[in-house]
């Protein structure tokens, strides 16, 4: 059994906060920027400022969660990917 590090646990808890957001506008934005099975954002940032799909959480998700006073843990975009990979086996 894998033991989660503190950062992984904080990121896991924060990902649940993201899923629990109920503010209507924030929910719509977050739904547009959900993560795919490879841990990338499914938003369309790659058409604009970024050259490719960013790791999830992308800057848009972090912006929304900052606005809701629930900022991502440090290094969440790296950690979320690894944590999800472990969870999926």
Residues in touch with Zn ion (CB under 5 A): 33, 41, 43, 58, 60
Rounded least distance, CB 6 to Zn ion, Å: 26
Rounded least distance, CB 45 to Zn ion, Å: 5
> What burial class does residue 51 get, using C-beta atoms within 10 Å of its C-beta: 0-12 exposed, 13-18 middle, 19+ buried?
exposed
Closest to Zn ion by CB, 48 vs 89, is 48
Rounded least distance, CB 79 to Zn ion, Å: 17
Distance set, CA 19 to CA 12, 15, 22, 42, 47 (Å): 11, 6, 9, 15, 25
């Amino acid at each position: 059994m894998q033991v989660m590090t503190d950062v992984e646990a904080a990121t896991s808890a924060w990902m649940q906060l993201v899923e629990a957001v109920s503010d209507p506008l924030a929910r719509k934005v977050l739904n547009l920027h959900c993560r795919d099975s490879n841990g990338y954002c499914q938003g369309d940032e790659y058409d604009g400022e970024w050259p490719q799909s960013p790791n999830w959480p992308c800057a848009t998700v972090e912006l929304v969660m900052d606005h809701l006073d629930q900022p991502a843990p440090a290094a969440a975009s790296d950690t979320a990917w690894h944590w999800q990979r472990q969870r999926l086996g």
